[in-house]
Amino acid sequence: MSASADAVFDALGDPTRRAVLELVGRTGPATATELAAHLPVTRQAVVKHLDTLRAAGLVESNRTGRDVRYGLTAAPLESAAAWMARVGTTWDARLGRLQTRATRKKSSG
Protein backbone atom coordinates (compact mmCIF):
# COMPACT_ATOMS: atom_id res chain seq x y z
CA MET A 1 0.00 0.00 0.00
CA SER A 2 1.44 3.32 -0.98
CA ALA A 3 2.04 5.85 1.76
CA SER A 4 -0.55 8.60 1.79
CA ALA A 5 1.00 12.02 1.89
CA ASP A 6 -1.50 13.12 4.52
CA ALA A 7 -0.61 10.32 6.93
CA VAL A 8 3.08 10.79 6.25
CA PHE A 9 3.02 14.51 6.93
CA ASP A 10 1.08 13.87 10.13
CA ALA A 11 3.53 11.16 11.17
CA LEU A 12 6.54 13.34 10.51
CA GLY A 13 5.11 16.30 12.41
CA ASP A 14 6.45 15.04 15.72
CA PRO A 15 10.20 15.58 16.28
CA THR A 16 10.58 12.49 18.48
CA ARG A 17 8.82 10.40 15.87
CA ARG A 18 11.17 11.75 13.24
CA ALA A 19 14.05 10.73 15.47
CA VAL A 20 12.62 7.21 15.78
CA LEU A 21 12.26 6.96 12.00
CA GLU A 22 15.77 8.24 11.42
CA LEU A 23 17.16 5.76 13.95
CA VAL A 24 15.34 2.87 12.32
CA GLY A 25 16.74 3.97 8.99
CA ARG A 26 20.27 4.21 10.32
CA THR A 27 20.46 1.05 12.40
CA GLY A 28 18.27 -1.22 10.31
CA PRO A 29 15.56 -3.50 11.72
CA ALA A 30 15.51 -3.10 15.48
CA THR A 31 13.25 -3.89 18.39
CA ALA A 32 11.47 -1.14 20.30
CA THR A 33 13.73 -1.84 23.29
CA GLU A 34 16.86 -1.42 21.20
CA LEU A 35 15.55 1.84 19.74
CA ALA A 36 14.51 3.21 23.14
CA ALA A 37 18.04 2.67 24.41
CA HIS A 38 19.18 5.42 22.03
CA LEU A 39 16.34 7.85 22.63
CA PRO A 40 15.40 10.11 25.56
CA VAL A 41 11.92 8.58 25.83
CA THR A 42 10.43 5.43 27.30
CA ARG A 43 10.05 2.17 25.41
CA GLN A 44 6.28 2.64 25.66
CA ALA A 45 6.55 5.99 23.91
CA VAL A 46 8.73 4.44 21.22
CA VAL A 47 6.13 1.73 20.61
CA LYS A 48 3.42 4.38 20.17
CA HIS A 49 5.54 6.27 17.68
CA LEU A 50 6.31 3.08 15.79
CA ASP A 51 2.60 2.30 15.56
CA THR A 52 1.96 5.72 14.04
CA LEU A 53 4.83 5.31 11.61
CA ARG A 54 3.56 1.90 10.64
CA ALA A 55 0.03 3.21 10.07
CA ALA A 56 1.53 5.84 7.78
CA GLY A 57 3.30 3.15 5.81
CA LEU A 58 6.78 4.32 6.78
CA VAL A 59 7.92 1.33 8.85
CA GLU A 60 6.95 -2.31 8.91
CA SER A 61 7.24 -4.86 11.67
CA ASN A 62 8.45 -8.42 11.46
CA ARG A 63 8.22 -10.98 14.20
CA THR A 64 11.22 -13.29 14.57
CA GLY A 65 10.72 -15.62 17.47
CA ARG A 66 9.70 -13.52 20.44
CA ASP A 67 11.11 -10.30 19.02
CA VAL A 68 9.30 -7.80 16.88
CA ARG A 69 11.70 -5.84 14.72
CA TYR A 70 10.86 -2.59 12.99
CA GLY A 71 12.42 -1.56 9.70
CA LEU A 72 11.80 0.94 6.94
CA THR A 73 9.20 -0.20 4.44
CA ALA A 74 10.25 -1.33 1.01
CA ALA A 75 7.34 0.56 -0.56
CA PRO A 76 8.51 3.86 -1.95
CA LEU A 77 7.17 7.01 -0.39
CA GLU A 78 5.39 9.03 -3.01
CA SER A 79 5.72 12.69 -2.30
CA ALA A 80 3.05 15.21 -3.14
CA ALA A 81 5.25 16.55 -5.91
CA ALA A 82 5.73 13.10 -7.40
CA TRP A 83 1.99 12.43 -7.27
CA MET A 84 1.23 15.70 -8.99
CA ALA A 85 3.85 15.09 -11.65
CA ARG A 86 2.62 11.58 -12.33
CA VAL A 87 -1.07 12.51 -12.40
CA GLY A 88 -0.37 15.63 -14.46
CA THR A 89 1.54 13.62 -17.04
CA THR A 90 -1.24 11.06 -17.19
CA TRP A 91 -3.82 13.77 -17.85
CA ASP A 92 -1.64 15.32 -20.53
CA ALA A 93 -1.66 11.97 -22.32
CA ARG A 94 -5.41 11.47 -21.88
CA LEU A 95 -6.31 14.97 -23.06
CA GLY A 96 -3.97 14.52 -26.02
CA ARG A 97 -5.95 11.44 -27.01
CA LEU A 98 -9.21 13.31 -26.36
CA GLN A 99 -8.06 16.04 -28.71
CA THR A 100 -7.28 13.41 -31.35
CA ARG A 101 -10.75 11.88 -30.95
CA ALA A 102 -12.29 15.32 -31.21
CA THR A 103 -10.44 16.06 -34.44
CA ARG A 104 -11.53 12.74 -35.87
CA LYS A 105 -15.10 13.33 -34.77
CA LYS A 106 -15.11 16.76 -36.38
CA SER A 107 -13.87 15.55 -39.73
CA SER A 108 -16.27 12.62 -39.82
CA GLY A 109 -19.21 14.96 -39.20
Which chain residues interact with another protein by CB under 8 A? 1-2, 4-7, 55, 80, 83-84, 87-88, 91-92, 94-95, 97-103, 105-106
Question: Least Å distance between CB 3 and another protein?
Answer: 9
Q: Report the DSSP pairing between strands 67-72 and 59-64.
A: antiparallel
Of the pair 2, 27, the CB lying nearest another protein is at: 2
Indicate the DSSP class of residue 26. H
Q: How far is the CB of 96 from another protein (least distance, A)?
A: 8
Integer Cα distance of 29 and 14 in angstroms = 21
3-state secondary structure (DSSP) of residue 9? helix
Smallest distance, another protein to C-beta of residue 76, A: 11
